[in-house]
Structure 1
Amino acid sequence: MIDAHHHLWQIGRNGHSWPTPDLEAIDRDYGLDDLKSEAVSTGLNGSIVVQSQAHDADTDWLLEVASHDELILGVVGWADLAAPNAAARIADLARHPKLKGLRPMLQGLSDDDWINQPAVRPAIDAMIAHDLSFDALVFTRHLPAINQLAEDYPALRIVIDHGAKPPIAHRHSHPEETRHWREQITAIARRPNVHAKLSGLVTEMRPGQPIEDLWPYVDHLFEQFGTDRILWGSDWPVVNLRQSYRSWFDQVHHHLRGLSAKKIDKIFDANAKRFYKITTETGETQ
């Protein structure tokens, strides 16, 4: 099993700015030993660690951690894509064999169309030149911008983190938000270079909200992306705000129990290897 989305962080180090002390359940250091302890019974044999801080130091630290542990198959780092030296920074990062992609944390930016500004184009070109993927940390309102990005750069592999954070908590009180999310997901799924992650969904729910409220969103993702463009991720340790690593793993497995073993393997393993260009010991890309 490959976990396509988890984090590591050290409070007060490596450009740390989140989580903040009010998130008491996850306001501490999290390292690989913690991950291994929580995922030991899931059959985890590889992972993709994703940046959590908008800082070069965080990416440099994750690459250093990854270089000393075979469990980490790839790193999705951060770079200031609008910086004048972005292309050079990306070229430098790409020299590390475990750097697989970048994530600019679009959800926190004031301009929903930030990624399509001319200043970012050299960075996107550099990502394509170095065969790096793009993790899109976005809300529903950003999906038109990502759709445009996917159209402009068909060679760029894009994955929508956390299913674009659907409005699960407001499912019953604001159904129009769900309709809008469904429409935008349907539109962007038409782009063959766009994938989606089953990660971070439970933290979009209210505390105590029944898990049954989540499945219509998962089902819509599968209806639009199919089983070839969906990757499972834990979003650990953020998932701990709502439930445990093992609980999220088991719940998704149970919900997908009607699928064939081959399709389950794609979602929990093969798709992540293919999307992030994970190579075998023989050098073959899976």
Structure 2
Amino acid sequence: MKIDAHQHFWLYDPVRDAWISEEMQAIRRNFLPNDIGQILKDNGFDGCVAVQADQSPQETAFLLELAQVYALIKGIVGWVDLFASDIDEQLAAYKQHPKVKGFRHIVEGEGNPDFLHQDGFLRGMEALTKHSYTYDLLIRPRHYASTLKCVAANPQQAFMLDHIAKPPIKTQEFTEWADFIGELANFSNVHCKISGLATEADWKHWKLDDFSIYIEHVIQCFGKDRVLFGSDWPVCLLAGTYEDSIRIVEDKLADFNQDELNGFWGDNAVKFYGLT
């Protein structure tokens, strides 16, 4: 099964979606599965993982509603308040919705560098592990240290690093990010989405070579069985087409054999998220 492991859907709301700034006019509108279904089919994909873009229980409910209508949504990474006193009960209730595979918080928007290592958050993480849910990591450099602490404290939790931790591709800085990736990849319970890269580059003038050192480093550190593809559609449209998100990675996979390619383009996502 060929899977795009990172897509978003929304009914655009200028207040709720204030993160979509003036320079992001291209995505200031509704994006629903009908808008991507034919594109996925044209590129040989069987479906996608829908990932939260808003931090509310209503977001998870919205994605669940879409998944009931659109078969292309194979799994959902929703949002839940991991600090909630009733987190255990909330997660137990989600078990009646098998397409909910995991959860994410937009940690990159949190100013607290220790967000991922707060006592309340770690209690929520223990509940995730108990109920066998995955957790997607969306971070910035200020969160590197607490990310490593959080992962070290939760060796049984399945983590997915989104967008290879958003390296500074536009400026071609490398060392700080590369050192972090090397440390994080030492934890075998962490996987990595090679996704959302064009929007970290110069939106109008990126070249395929701009991404080489970052993708090669991630593959070298995580290995071929812990990396997988995600487009970050529709956010990727800020810097190119859906096909561009494929081109950015496909020419970096020359030494993958067929089984490894099958893993990268879908099987690794199926295994990590438990897709059917």
TM-score relative to the length of structure 2: 0.94
Match of 2:221 among 212, 220, 224: 224
Distance across 2 between alignment mates of 1:74 and 1:14 = 27
Contact between 2:102 and 2:135, CA under 8 Å: does it hold in 1? yes
Q: Aligned pair in 2 of structure 1 residues 95, 143: CA closer, same or farther (>3 Å)?
A: farther
Q: Structure 1 residue aligned with 2:234, among 232, 237, 241?
A: 237
Query: CA offset at residue 219 of structure 1?
Result: 0.3
* Cα deviation, residue 86, structure 1: 2.7
For 2:103, the equivalent position in structure 1 comes to: 102
Q: Which residue of 1 aligns with 2:87?
A: 86
* C-alpha contact 2:40 2:47 (8 A) present in aligned 1: no
Corresponding residue of 1:202: 198
Structure-2 residue corresponding to 1:181: 177
Find the residue that maps to 2:192 and give its secondary structure.
strand
The TM-score normalised by the length of structure 1 is 0.91
Distance 1:83 1:14 in 2: 25
Distance 2:96 2:221 in 1: 35
1:231 and 1:9 mapped to 2: Cα distance? 24
CA offset at residue 124 of structure 1?
A: 1.1
Q: Please show how residues 120-269 of structure 1 align to structure 2 within 5 Å.
A: 120-171=121-172, 175=173, 178-206=174-202, 207-269=204-266
Query: Distance in 2 between the 1:132 and 1:235 partners?
Result: 21
Which residue identity does 1:170 align to in structure 2?
T
Structure 2 letter corresponding to 1:242? A
**Does the 8 Å contact 2:136/2:159 carry over to 1?**
yes
Aligned to 1:57: 58
Task: Tell me the alpha carbon deviations over residues 96-146 of structure 1, each in whole angstroms, 9 at most, x when there is no partner.
Answer: 110000001110011121121111233212211111000001123322212
- The one-letter amino acid of 1:146's match is T
Once the two structures are TM-superposed, the CA of residue 35 in structure 1 deviates from its matched residue by 1.1
Q: Percentage identity across aligned positions?
A: 32
* Distance of 1:122 and 1:88 partners within structure 2: 13
Unmatched 5+ residue regions in structure 1? 280-286
Q: Is 1:42 equivalent to 2:20 in the alignment?
A: no
1:283 paired residue number: none
Take 1:202 and 1:167, find their aligned partners in 2: how far apart are those partners?
A: 11
Deviations 1:216-261 (A, max 9, x none): 1000000000101001001000110111111221332222133211
CA displacement, residues 22-65 of structure 1 (integer Å, 9 cap, x when unaligned): 41011100000111133232111021000001111111100111
State how many pairs are aligned: 274
Report if the CA contact (8 A) 1:15-1:54 is conserved: no
Unpaired runs of at least 5, structure 2: none
Is the CA contact (8 Å cut-off) linking 2:198 and 2:206 kept in structure 1?
no
- Residue 148 of structure 1 deviates from its aligned partner by 1.3
| TM superposition shift of 1:16 | 4.2
Q: Do the aligned residues in 2 keep the contact of 1:5 with 1:199 (CA within 8 Å)?
A: yes
CA distance in 2, matches of 1:9, 1:20: 15
